[in-house]
Structure 1
Amino acid sequence: MLASFLMVSVALTGCSANKASDNTPETDAGMKAEGPKLTLRLADTLAVDHPIVAADKKFAEMVSERTNGRIKIEVFANSQLGEEKTTIEQVQLGALDFVRTGAGALAGFSKKFEVFSLPYIFESEEHQFKFLESAIGTKMLDGLESSRMKGLAYYSAGARSFYSRKPLTGIADLKGQKIRVIQNKVNVDLIDALGANATPMAFGEVFSALQTGVIDAAENSFANLYTSNHQQQAKNLIIDQHQRVPEVLIISKTTWDKLPEEDRKIVKQAALDSVKIERELFDKFEKDAEAKIRAAGVTVTEVKDLKPWQDAVKPVIDKYRKEFQEELDAIEKAKK
């Protein structure tokens, strides 16, 4: 009970406002900083050296610069403030100000985000971002407000592929394997369609689960595989690129509503401006991570023909087509 009380107490200190002293020193421009100073917190489950965390920090830096230091955003990486579901719930409650989370984890809070877990709906990152930046993509971000959150921007997360402790050189090798998935039902259906056994699990638990044999395999990007050191336990990787699930930068509606209109504009624009930086950082890091994973002795198989994979998971898309018709139509339109 005491531990739970302390955790809640710490979480509730997220959005702090301390009025500046009347003796606030002048800035380099000769102007005094105006308004209350805020220290806000941003949670991320990824490792400190991950490019997405670097983008979080760049976003925080831009907000600080554009508010002359009035708003400071502290970034807590490596699940310091909890796993994805926990931090999303804290943002909902207003106990935490920002979270960077995978779109798949948002499905339990805003159903439309399940669409990103459907396999092979995007042909490339360019196709994906054309959709994300469309009216429907923006509508999905705005839809988070009903869950007491506000979506600020999408980040790239690359393509997801399977990696395993067991041999993995073709689609048939997945059959019977216990595979960790993001905690939503579309992912469970996807794994079932491939003849494997889905094991929903928080990202931070995957390394030990692979190590102890609780699971045989998982799936993720090169960047996430490398920074989490999963290659130490899973020495077989097949590049099937079955999903492109974006990351989402989110602010608590409670925090957003407390900000003056001018600061809202600054925060929103800084988030959008950080996207280009994140995509560049992620792309470079992915290439480096792939090279290091291969150098670490991981057996890497590249899928030359995706058709058997696409055929196997087509029933999953058909099952959810009616539910996500608007989004799927917009994704198809974004190909052109």
Structure 2
Amino acid sequence: MRNSKIFRALKISLCLLVIFSLSACDAIKRDVTVIKLGHGLDTSHPVHEAMLYMGERAKEKSNGSIEIDIYPNQQLGSERESLELLQIGSLGMTKVSTGVLENFIPSLKVFGLPFLFRDREHRFKVLESELGEKLLNDGLGKRLKGLTFYDAGSRSFYGKEPMESPEDLEGLKLRVMESNTAMNMVKMLGGSPTPIAWGELYTALQQGIVDGAENNLPSFYLSRHYEVCKYYMVDEHTALPDELLISTMVWDKLSEEEKVWLKEAAMESSEYEKKLWREAELEALEEIQKAGVKVTYPDKEDFREMVQPMYEEFSKDPEMKKIIEAIQAVK
């Protein structure tokens, strides 16, 4: 445990060194606000493309006075490390899954509840409502301001052995994010949850460290996990959105006009990403089937019944119960 903490501290220190070195190059841009955005996605991912679009829109709206430099593929750290760098103001922006973010902002663990949304339309209505805006701002006390949510589709299970029902998950070692909610869900479905960094998962699947995982279709395809796992079960248990965040230490230094430009650019990129995401889902489904992956569509009611105790547990917290009821009330 101690060695793990030392390694993590060294890794963060290295990320800081890289960021500070990059910052020195920006010193000559005296009339330009340069914001560094680090994330862990591949450059072909729809969310990365949406963030590039956001950067273009912010630059246009500000007449070139706002520039967003984007560093993908965990160049500046993992999701958790990027969040920690935001909190101390060493990194300007990042994109993380709300599954990881729940460790920093407890209210967001609501998104980890299985079958929370009725359908895709309901999900968007919630994320774009006053409730969605409130959830974006729930991290202000942690120096994290949410600017927008990005669609990350629905997550489903995949593995090396046939999957057609919850019974097929029994006893399997399944990779999950660093999320207590995700781990509890897998336990209720009979699996053994194993947190592993996304970048290390392909090797873990190859070497049999885990038997399978759960994620959305584009991520399953772009990560090439279909080369190892030939079974994808579309149970769509959760729909965890990604969240685009900015450090409040950076946000507070922006002028009111700059804040408006950046917020508008972020929201426009979210709309743009919806279309990209839908196209990516259809492409991924077609390509993995071409690669020999067997895609199955189980009865979701079997899953709903097994995870119902999670709702009962969440409802013991008055604030969480209020959020769940508010989401369910959105028509």
TM-score, with length taken from structure 1: 0.91
Aligned to 1:30: none
Does 1:11 find its partner at 2:6? no
Do 2:12 and 2:81's aligned partners in 1 also have CA atoms closer than 8 Å? no
Do 2:154 and 2:237's aligned partners in 1 also have CA atoms closer than 8 Å? yes
Measure the CA separation in 1 of the matches of 2:59 and 2:144. 22
Any gaps of 5 or more consecutive residues in structure 1? Answer: 21-34
> What is the CA distance between 1:72 and its match in structure 2?
1.4
Measure the CA separation in 1 of the matches of 2:200 and 2:248. 29
Aligned to 1:332: 328
2:182 corresponds to which letter in structure 1? N
Measure the CA separation in 2 of the matches of 1:108 and 1:206. 21
Do 2:15 and 2:76's aligned partners in 1 also have CA atoms closer than 8 Å? no
TM-score, with length taken from structure 2: 0.92
Measure the CA separation in 2 of the matches of 1:125 and 1:100. 21
Does 1:118 find its partner at 2:113? yes
Do 2:80 and 2:100's aligned partners in 1 also have CA atoms closer than 8 Å? yes
- Equivalent residues, number: 320
1:191 corresponds to which letter in structure 2? V
From the CA coordinates, give the structure whose radius of gyration is larger: 1
Aligned to 1:310: 304
Measure the CA separation in 1 of the matches of 2:42 and 2:11. 25
Q: Secondary structure at the match of 1:39?
A: strand
Do 2:96 and 2:244's aligned partners in 1 also have CA atoms closer than 8 Å? yes
Aligned to 1:179: 174
> What is the CA distance between 1:270 and its match in structure 2?
0.6
Measure the CA separation in 2 of the matches of 1:8 and 1:44. 15
Aligned to 2:313: 319
> What is the CA distance between 1:19 and its match in structure 2?
6.0
Q: How does 1:1-336 map to 2 (within 5 A)?
A: 5-12=13-20, 18=27, 36-303=31-298, 305-323=299-317, 324-334=320-330, 336=331
Deviation string, structure 1 residues 46-89 (Cα, Å, up to 9, x no partner):
11101110001000111111122222111111222121111111
Measure the CA separation in 2 of the matches of 1:44 and 1:233. 25
> What is the CA distance between 1:215 and its match in structure 2?
0.5
2:91 corresponds to which letter in structure 1? L
| Residues 44/7 of structure 1: CA separation in 2 closer, same or farther (3 Å cut) | closer
> What is the CA distance between 1:6 and its match in structure 2?
4.2
| Residues 229/320 of structure 1: CA separation in 2 closer, same or farther (3 Å cut) | same
Any gaps of 5 or more consecutive residues in structure 2? Answer: 1-8
> What is the CA distance between 1:316 and its match in structure 2?
1.5
Could you tell me the percent identity over the aligned residues?
35
> What is the CA distance between 1:322 and its match in structure 2?
2.8
1:10 corresponds to which letter in structure 2? V
Do 1:231 and 1:293's aligned partners in 2 also have CA atoms closer than 8 Å? yes
Q: Secondary structure at the match of 1:108?
A: coil
Q: Secondary structure at the match of 1:258?
A: coil
2:263 corresponds to which letter in structure 1? K
Measure the CA separation in 2 of the matches of 1:89 and 1:177. 32
| Residues 88/218 of structure 1: CA separation in 2 closer, same or farther (3 Å cut) | same
> What is the CA distance between 1:275 and its match in structure 2?
1.2
1:320 corresponds to which letter in structure 2? F
Measure the CA separation in 2 of the matches of 1:14 and 1:63. 21
Do 2:18 and 2:76's aligned partners in 1 also have CA atoms closer than 8 Å? no
| Residues 2/276 of structure 1: CA separation in 2 closer, same or farther (3 Å cut) | closer
Measure the CA separation in 2 of the matches of 1:53 and 1:101. 12
> What is the CA distance between 1:158 and its match in structure 2?
0.4
| Residues 67/164 of structure 1: CA separation in 2 closer, same or farther (3 Å cut) | same
